[in-house]
Amino acid sequence: MGTSDLKLNAIDNLEQDFACAASNQYFFDCLYYEFFNKSLCDFHGLPRPAKWLGRNPSIVAVIKYTSLFLSYAWAYVLFYCHLFYKVVTSLYVKRKSEKNVLLHGVVFLAVCEHSCNTIFNSPVSTKFCTWLLPQNIEVPSKYKCTPGIDFVKAIDVIDFSDIWGVLKKSITIHQLIIDKSGPDMSWQTYSVFDWVVMYAALLKLKPSLILTAEHHDRWAVMADRFSSRMQRLNRECAITIVQHGKEHSSTYENFLGQTREKGLPYKLKNVKKLFVYNDEQREIFLGNIIDANAIADDFEVLNYDRPSLKLTDVDGGVMSILFVGHPFCEQFQMLLCERLCKVLKANVYYKPHPAAKPSPKVFNASWNVIADDYFYPRVNFVISYPSTLVDEYEVHRIKAFVHPLKAELSTSDCYSASLLREIVG
């Protein structure tokens, strides 16, 4: 692979690039805390509350009362232990790697399996494209033998010497965030090493186009800031986004309702092409995710049809119901399931959210938990929060009952009675 004339150590203001990326994640963390009627300050900035705040209240209480200690421990001790582990594993992986990296003009940020599925099934061509993976993400097995897909881990793209540059940049970013915002904000550096490795890999690959299925997270912002830097150097680097999941206008209304007058802290400035589900989603993207100044004559928005779900027939003879789950509403859905099963003879399935693991309680409820991400049962009815799957099942003329993501437990009796009237007739 040719050597890039841009070195990571020569990149200035990378700290600001990461701060922009972390700011969006931080504000979504604030939103999730508010969703649970909690304060981020009470938990001293512990990140990704969507994954743990709805769990056992006793565990959450312990986390709350130890969060100040954990915050300082992370800022001044645990971060460096984490970084040491990252460096050691990177050196080990690098020593064993014999990957030959092909230089393509297009790079796809394959940061999770869901993103891979989205891009692969979209109108965007992946021929002559490098699929770039973070170190902790494995190549989805279904694509390993697919002709024309060139997968590469970011750590395989950079040199041994670059790892030390990544280490120094990671420490600098962490320390600057502490100096500017205090230990609570330093939690956002949990991903800084992988983020800088991906950035360094982009410097090596020098893409003229970056594909992503991320909307506004740290990977989307990384691509946008990288594109800005390349354009300042008179190098072409555009971004194409393919929508991977349904956006809700209420999310951004909540941002504005919490005295965040401008909404999302960082909006994308270098997107040239955007693939969305429909006109409603187009308006949400243009109004809340894409910077207004980026919408120029060469900006293109296209609606695309998602591939139809491949439904699998399940045992007939009795009614079948699918719950589309999310940790935010699993307690509510368990109550619904319990009440419905007392009246109905039905096969009930529960499909967990692909990016948010369910709590252990879900596996003890009276439904069949679907472990296969690609298994979609053909059922009589779907019960769900406002999910993309609702629209996809309705394409198959399967009726869906939608409840709020944050459904109050006290309304479960009324809602189950309404469901029974609809189902039984």
CATH number of the domain enclosing 412: 3.40.50
- Answer with the one of 268, 303, 338 that is the final residue of a domain: 303
Task: Tell me, yes or no, whether 287 and 321 share the same domain.
Answer: no
pLDDT for 1: 41
pLDDT for 38: 87
| 178 or 103, which is more confident | 178
pLDDT digits 0-9 by tens, 159-218: 888 999 999 999 999 999 999 888 888 899 999 999 999 999 999 999 999 999 999 999
pLDDT for 184: 84
pLDDT for 291: 92
Q: Does any domain span residue 3?
A: no
- Sheet with 346-351, side-by-side order of all strands: 368-369, 346-351, 319-324, 381-384, 399-402
Task: Tell me, yes or no, whether 242 and 348 share the same domain.
Answer: no
Task: Tell me, yes or no, whether 99 and 70 share the same domain.
Answer: yes
Task: Tell me, yes or no, whether 212 and 335 share the same domain.
Answer: no
Task: Tell me, yes or no, whether 135 and 255 share the same domain.
Answer: yes
Q: Does any domain span residue 187?
A: yes
pLDDT for 5: 56
Q: Does any domain span residue 2?
A: no
Task: Tell me, yes or no, whether 63 and 171 share the same domain.
Answer: yes
> Distance (Å, rounded) from C-alpha 414 to C-alpha 420?
10
Residue 25 in this model has a pLDDT that exceeds 60:
yes
Residue 330 in this model has a pLDDT that exceeds 80:
yes
Task: Tell me, yes or no, whether 165 and 41 share the same domain.
Answer: yes
Q: Does any domain span residue 205?
A: yes
pLDDT digits 0-9 by tens, 287-328: 999 998 888 777 899 999 887 888 999 877 889 999 999 888
- Answer with the one of 303, 333, 351 that is the final residue of a domain: 303
Can you give the residue range of the structural domain that contains 333? 311-424
Q: Does any domain span residue 369?
A: yes
Task: Tell me, yes or no, whether 13 and 108 share the same domain.
Answer: yes
Task: Tell me, yes or no, whether 284 and 325 share the same domain.
Answer: no
Counted domains in the chain: 2
Q: Does any domain span residue 1?
A: no
Q: Does any domain span residue 393?
A: yes
Task: Tell me, yes or no, whether 284 and 374 share the same domain.
Answer: no
- Answer with the one of 303, 327, 347 that is the final residue of a domain: 303
Q: Does any domain span residue 38?
A: yes
Task: Tell me, yes or no, whether 165 and 209 share the same domain.
Answer: yes
Q: Which two tokens stand for residue 304?
A: 């695309």
Task: Tell me, yes or no, whether 347 and 269 share the same domain.
Answer: no
